[in-house]
Amino acid sequence: MSRWAAQLCWSILGTYVAIAVGVWCGLWGQNYDLAGGPKWGGISSDYWLGTNLIGQDIFARSLTSVATALQTGLMVGGLATMAGALAGACAGYWRGRWPDRILLWLMGVIDAIPFVLLAAAIAYALGAQFIAVALAMILTLWVPVARLVRAETQKLRTMPYVESAQIIGVSPVLIILRHILPNTWHLLMAQGLLVMVAALKAEVVLSFLGIGSQASVSWGVMIAESTQEVASGRFNNFLAASIPLFGLVFVLGSLADFFQSRRAGDSRASGPMQA
Amino acid sequence: MRDYLLKQSLNAVALMIGVTLLSFSLLVYFGPDQTYSLLGKNPTPEQIASVHQQLGYDQNFAERYLDFLKRMLVLDLGYAQSSGEAVSSLLARTSMISLALLLPGFVLGHALALLLSMLSAQYQGRWPDRLISMASMVSMSTSTVVVIIALQWWLSSSGDSGWFPVRGWSTDSVIDYLRHIAMPTLALVLVSVGYHIRIYRAVICEEMGQDYVRTARAFGAGPVVVLFRHVLPNCLLPIITRVVFSVPLLLVSGSLLLESYFGIPGIGKVSFDAITNGDQPVLLAIVTFSGVALVLVQNLADALYRWVDPRLRVQT
């Protein structure tokens, strides 16, 4: 990706962040659940993108969804990437020994259960609430990160500087934290962004299944609402959710590519999951 | 060989224990209390106690887990809460429908992705490559749900030719079958092809940079011969990995969303209903068996690698 394209991506991402900050500060998108307008109202000066079935402001709902998406993405992306980095580094450092075996087994088990079904099972146990969704996402999305970091750690472990540190008696924990993980930085950035992408796309599927936070609004909730509307020719809700969703996912994916291409010659790393 | 088989089966058994342990804990042990769904109104304490005993609530975790394993082994999966049908027959009946629905799209998606990524690798850095990479990025960024809704709108608005039904399922004749799978297949290909291309392109590009490719070219081999005779066989390993790991996508996002939107009575629709209604016996069977099936498929793939690539047989 060219420098110019990367800058464009960063500024689009910045716009999303600015919108979310505005929502968090209470500047806009606050009345997203106020059902004050007409049923399926058209575009007007009061309702910039019209209203939905029960008269809620679609524009406000889409703005609030930006904040929801970034909250979910940052939380899931951050936690899953951190967990994956630590687990992967430990597995790679003690390759073939028991920490590696246990972690590989755990990853194999989680990989074997399809994401949506695992999420459904967790939601069944905990009840359909935000924590169930977040837990399901983190529980599945740390695995691909860990696999990549494990492979990278195996390479780094044989580097002279790691061997020197081992010889002068630096503890393994310090070696992992200070000498190995910092060198996986580009990998982690790319993976973190891809985890965010996966979380955003998974959220749409889970909302459609009725698993997820009922208290707030998200693009997934809006798309689920719009399923019936589109068939009868009402596109406001559908477009107001799917276009910004596509934009954010596209930008995050492109930035992940950018970080990946800055690592020497390894473009094989793939997205953590698809939904 | 015997060592390999032993190691591999031990590994598979360990994974299956993990999968069943997870599904048992989430759906049975820590799941909601089933007592009252089995009892009528105003149950007596004796009735409650007898149901508790029947469900095993008076036993500890290990006893209940072993009991669960026993029932899974003999396929005693209970009855669906919604329809009362035996879960084993429900799954057997509906999984065939899903297979018929998804297989064409699965094969087409991978075949198309392979062709496009070979084209992309052939013109690396030039406009066909850029175009294909861009298209794959767009495909990856689009949510399956959005694609399905848009396709259904397009179907229902573009003059009611009735050729491709928006909902329903029929396998009365080959024509009928093809009509019903056309749109779901298109949707499946659209959303999966981007991810496949991404991986295949990277694999093929890496292989194209190898010395043997340069040598083949120097000997005057054309691009088609180089790609199909030299590069493709050497890419088989990552390609098999990709195909195997896209099975969960097929199983879940594929069947679940496609079948519930297009009204097709396959296993995805059954899962959708079980998830939205909290139908525990069905959910338990689907989660457990998809996990076990995937472990089997992945182990099979591992055996396949060794068959495809003789180098692996020497290493271990």
Which of the listed ranges A231-235, A266-270, B281-285 does the model predict with the highest average pLDDT?
Answer: B281-285
When mean pLDDT is compared across A46-60, A89-103, B65-79, B98-112, the lowest value belongs to: A46-60
When mean pLDDT is compared across A106-115, B25-34, B107-116, B133-142, the lowest value belongs to: B25-34
Q: What is the mean pLDDT of residues A166-192?
A: 90
Q: What is the mean pLDDT of residues B129-136?
A: 91
Contact B20, B292 (CB under 8 A): yes
Contact A146, A188 (CB under 8 A): no
Mean pLDDT, chain B, as a whole number? 84
pLDDT category, A266, cuts 50, 70, 90?
very low
Nearest to A271 among B27, B140, B261 (CB): B140
Report the pLDDT value the prediction gives residue B160, as an integer from 0 to 100: 58
| Percent of chain A at pLDDT exceeding 90 | 31
Nearest to B290 among A114, A125, A254 (CB): A114
| pLDDT tens string A232-255 | 778 888 888 889 999 999 999 999
Report the pLDDT value the prediction gives residue B253, as an integer from 0 to 100: 66
CA nearest to B188 within chain A: A275
Q: Is the pLDDT of residue B100 over 70?
A: yes
Q: Is the pLDDT of residue B254 over 90?
A: no
pLDDT category, A213, cuts 50, 70, 90?
low
Report the pLDDT value the prediction gives residue A103, as an integer from 0 to 100: 94
pLDDT category, B243, cuts 50, 70, 90?
confident
8 Å CB contact of B26 and A122: yes
Q: Is the pLDDT of residue A209 over 60?
A: yes
Partners of B8 on chain A (C-beta within 8 Å) are none
8 Å CB contact of A210 and B275: yes
pLDDT category, B64, cuts 50, 70, 90?
confident
Q: What is the mean pLDDT of residues A167-172?
A: 90
Higher pLDDT, A2 or A238: A238
8 Å CB contact of A246 and B141: yes
Q: How far apart are CA A6 and CA B121, in angstroms?
A: 23
pTM over 0.80: yes
Nearest to B145 among A208, A210, A253 (CB): A208
HEC readout, A174-223: HHHHHHHHHHHHHHHHHHHHHHHHHHHHHHHHHHHCCCCCCCCCCHHHHH
Task: Enter the ipTM.
Answer: 0.83
Q: Which domains does chain A have, with CATH numbers?
A: 3-29+61-270 (1.10.3720.10)
- Determine the distance in angstroms separating the CA of B147 from the nearest CA of chain A, rounded to an integer: 10
Report the pLDDT value the prediction gives residue B162, as an integer from 0 to 100: 64
Partners of A121 on chain B (C-beta within 8 Å) are 22-23, 26-27, 283, 287
| pLDDT tens string A32-79 | 777 777 777 777 777 777 777 777 788 888 888 898 899 989 999 999
Partners of A268 on chain B (C-beta within 8 Å) are 199, 202-203, 206, 238
Nearest to A275 among B25, B251, B253 (CB): B253
Report the pLDDT value the prediction gives residue B250, as an integer from 0 to 100: 66
Rounded (to 5) percent helix, strand, coil in chain A? 70, 0, 30
8 Å CB contact of A211 and B275: yes
When mean pLDDT is compared across A192-206, B71-85, B89-103, B242-256, the lowest value belongs to: B242-256
**Chain B interface disruption, residue of A12, A103, A113, most B CBs within 10 A:** A113
pLDDT category, A1, cuts 50, 70, 90?
low
Nearest to B275 among A111, A209, A249 (CB): A209
| Paired strand residues for B79 | B86
Contact A259, A189 (CB under 8 A): yes
| pLDDT tens string B197-238 | 988 998 998 888 888 888 998 998 888 888 888 888 888 888
Which of the listed ranges A97-101, A123-127, A216-220, B169-173 does the model predict with the highest average pLDDT?
Answer: A97-101
8 Å CB contact of A233 and B198: no
Give Cα separations from A173 to A27, A87, A100 (angstroms): 45, 12, 15
When mean pLDDT is compared across A244-253, B219-228, B262-271, B300-309, the lowest value belongs to: B300-309
B4 burial (CB, 10 Å; 0-12 / 13-18 / 19+) is middle
Q: Is the pLDDT of residue B292 over 50?
A: yes
Give the three-state DSSP class for B79. strand
Report the pLDDT value the prediction gives residue A84, as an integer from 0 to 100: 95
Q: Is the pLDDT of residue A271 over 50?
A: no
| pLDDT tens string B85-98 | 888 888 888 888 88
Report the pLDDT value the prediction gives residue A215, as an integer from 0 to 100: 65
Nearest to A121 among B27, B141, B257 (CB): B27
Contact A196, A73 (CB under 8 A): yes
8 Å CB contact of A204 and B146: yes
Q: Which domains does chain B have, with CATH numbers?
A: 1-38+55-74+279-316 (no CATH), 93-266 (1.10.3720.10)
Counting one residue from A and one from B, how many pairs have CB atoms under 8 Å apart? 154
Mean pLDDT, chain A, as a whole number? 84
Give the three-state DSSP class for A57. strand
